[in-house]
A = this chain, B = another copy of it.
Amino acid sequence: MDRELLKGHLPVLILGVLREKPLHGYAICREIQSRGASELKLKEGTLYPLLYRLERRGHIKSFWETAPSGKQRKAYKITKSGIKMIESHKTEWKILTSLFSTFLGEGWVKQ
């Protein structure tokens, strides 16, 4: 999948994962990898900065958890603002969809 097309959408996909349960970065990476299959590969170097941005903006909150190995690792939990962001992204998505309908015809979205 063309990387440009993900711009702006990617964070919401992450939020979608975190909405189910809190996860630490590396686990998010694997989760995305396994679900997104070949369509969506996400290297750590892409994910982590993205997580920092999301936290800086208040959409997720990090906390420390103890791995089975005893090692500390940083995990992330979605916030109310994050949930709200998912919702408002849905609105944006509809706008985008309607733009495509307008410029490329009904057939674009349906079927």
Query: Which chain A residues have a beta carbon within 8 Å of chain B's beta carbons?
Result: 1-2, 4-9, 12-13, 16-17, 19, 35-36, 39-40, 86, 90, 92-93, 95-96, 98-100, 102-105, 108
Contact = CB atoms under 8 A, between A and B. Distances in A.
How many copies of the chain does the oligomer comprise?
A: 2
B100 A93 contact: yes
Contacts of A93: 100, 108
A29 B96 CA distance: 18
A82 to B, nearest CB: 12
Interface of A is mostly: helix
A93 B19 CA distance: 24
B35 A102 contact: yes
A80 B2 CA distance: 20
B86 A104 contact: yes
